[in-house]
Amino acid sequence: MVWPARSPGAFPGGRFANDYQEAGGSGMSSYRKVGIASLIMMASVLLSRVIGLAREMAIAYMGGAGGEVDAYQVAFVIPEILNHLLASGFLSVTFIPIFSRYLAADREAEGWQVFSVILTGFGSLLLLLIAAAWLLAPGLIALIAPGLTDPVLKAKAVRMTRIVMPAQLFFFTGGLFMAVQFAREQFAVPALAPLIYNLGIIFFGVLLSPLIGMEGFSWGALAGAFLGNCALQFYGARRAGMVITLRFDIRHPDLRTYVLVSLPLMVGLTMSFSTEFFLKYFGSYLPSGSIAALTYDLRIMFVLVGFFGQAVGTASFPYMARLAAESRLSEMNRLLNTTLKYLAVVVPFSVLFMALRNEIVMLLFQRGRFDAAATQITAHLLFFLMAGTVAFSAQSVVIRAYFATQDTLFPSLFCSAGAILSIPLYWYNMQLWGAAGIAGAISLSVIFQVWLLYFLWNRRSRNTESAGVYRHYLKVTLISAVIGGALEWLRRGLLEAIDTGTTAGALSVSAVVGAAFMALLFGAGRMFQIREIDDILEKMLIRLRSVFRRFPPFPAPDAEKGKKE
């Protein structure tokens, strides 16, 4: 069976997006392309995170912070392990360099053969793994959540695991379809995948949960994965010229290359994967609802992580890979350093979330079965998780520097070792401080790992400008600490005059503290000459001016009268 390519008119000669031109040449520079692609992915990731929060709000409304929500969260662990084993989340960084070589060499037909071999071979393997995991689900749940001993909740976790399991096939095939589009420098259709996935969870969850409880959200995850990550991406890849042939060829040399590049990612533990796994593993030993509260906080934190780190990392990778392939490592390092400096703005925003932790959780979740007691517990844990936000954001960029040079082995081994070495920290913190200890362990672990990963990259690549990045982060962190103290003082003063137990009160406190934060942040940016903060202010002012130009104020009556005359 073959699906022929559609007209590749946008890609004359089969070239890789007309071979981008550098700054000063006749065409768009790589930096500007990264900026445009980043805007597309930022919009996608921001909307996805916002809709993801809406998803968590729907889950909180229907399930609160109780045991059934814990079971629902545990149900995703085994499917996520399968997804990880096939490196489905890394298809862009493993497949793009291989596919791009064929496009650049004007050997597009051979590139589609490699695409078909990988899709057919690994897709078949994934089907076998899904079937085995479906049968072994009860025993596997006992291994990954040993503290979940309630037989009713355990049975629910097993059933929901089996519902979600087939979605991993849609994530894998859709990941390859998206990688094709990224290689063509097309980002619009892939940007829709997480939006439709989350909307599917919300729609079916709200529709079915009154009848079958949290299981309704599991069916929503399955439907959203098929529609957003598979069907829509198939359409996008067809538009990019995709040709699929069901083709088994285990001797193909590029299949071996793909396996060698992907193998470290398959067996290694990424930071985000280990975080989710440890949260649910150790959280299963804690009182009912602890996994739910920690997961709600993690989703709040990932709004910032997704908007800044994930979006920029995804959009910049094709250009980093091209610079690395052309042995222009110094230019790639400049791009990396500049990106990391802009990501430092996550630090003060994390401080803002810390100061408004109670108001944020209340406004987002306190309704339905999510009561004031759940708000208090969740807000307390949010403070500790927000400390790791900037590290999660930077990690998605730093690790792609290694991937751009097709080195997946070292970062995989490094992250795996870091995850394993952090287990005593999780266990000790859990015993000492409970759920707050787990939240603190997540932040401490990722901060140390990302700092060391960047330090080792600098040693390897002779990144001589990295000292400026360290100084920049130190400056921004100190300024943010001062801003945080001022915001906490202001918030406590407002609490004496405003009842934050109501939505109006929480909104009032958030508005005042938020306004003070913006004034302090941009004032500090000007005072301490932090160009990145000034750039953000300038872009905001430009956007506001454009809005006012589009919607001018009503003319004065006399002027309108004169105009008619």
Contacting residues for 162 by C-beta, under 8 A, at least 6 apart: 134, 137
pLDDT in tens, the chain (565 residues): 444 343 333 333 333 333 333 333 334 555 555 555 556 666 666 677 788 889 999 999 999 988 899 999 999 999 988 887 775 666 666 777 787 777 777 788 888 888 888 888 888 888 999 999 999 999 999 999 999 888 999 999 999 999 999 999 999 999 889 888 887 777 788 888 888 999 999 999 999 999 999 999 999 999 999 999 999 999 998 988 888 777 777 777 777 877 777 777 676 667 778 898 999 999 999 998 999 999 999 989 988 887 776 666 666 677 787 788 788 889 899 989 988 988 898 999 999 999 999 999 999 999 989 999 999 999 999 999 999 999 999 988 898 888 888 787 888 888 889 999 999 999 999 999 999 999 999 999 999 999 999 999 999 998 988 999 999 999 999 999 999 999 999 999 998 888 877 889 999 999 999 999 999 998 888 888 887 777 766 666 665 565 455 444 444 444 444 444 4
C-alpha distances out from residue 396 to 229, 411, 524, Å = 21, 12, 27
Q: Strands, DSSP E only, in 407-450?
A: none
C-alpha distances out from residue 239 to 169, 189, 235, 242, 293, Å = 22, 10, 6, 7, 42
Alpha helices in 136-187 (DSSP H): 137-144, 151-164, 167-183
CA angle 89, 93, 96 (to 5 degrees): 120
Q: Tokens 């002779």 label which residue?
A: 462
pTM, 2 dp: 0.77
> What single DSSP character describes residue 13?
G
Residue 529: exposure state from Cβ atoms within 10 A (0-12, 13-18, ≥19): exposed
Residue 12: exposure state from Cβ atoms within 10 A (0-12, 13-18, ≥19): exposed
Report the pLDDT value the prediction gives residue 433, as an integer from 0 to 100: 95
Count CA atoms within 13 Å of residue 290 on its CB side.
22
Q: Tokens 């000459």 label which residue?
A: 529
In angstroms, the CA 158 to CA 134 distance is 9
In angstroms, the CA 123 to CA 478 distance is 49
In angstroms, the CA 469 to CA 497 distance is 42
In angstroms, the CA 66 to CA 248 distance is 47
Amino acid identity, position 302: F
At residue 2, the 3 state secondary structure works out as strand
Are 168 and 78 in contact by the 8 Å Cβ rule? The answer is no
At residue 122, the 3 state secondary structure works out as helix
Are 286 and 73 in contact by the 8 Å Cβ rule? The answer is no
The DSSP code sequence of 233-271 is: HHHHHHHTT--EE----TT-HHHHHHHHHHHHHHHS--H
Are 402 and 457 in contact by the 8 Å Cβ rule? The answer is yes
Report the pLDDT value the prediction gives residue 16, as an integer from 0 to 100: 32
CA torsion angle 333 335 340 343 (round to 10): -170
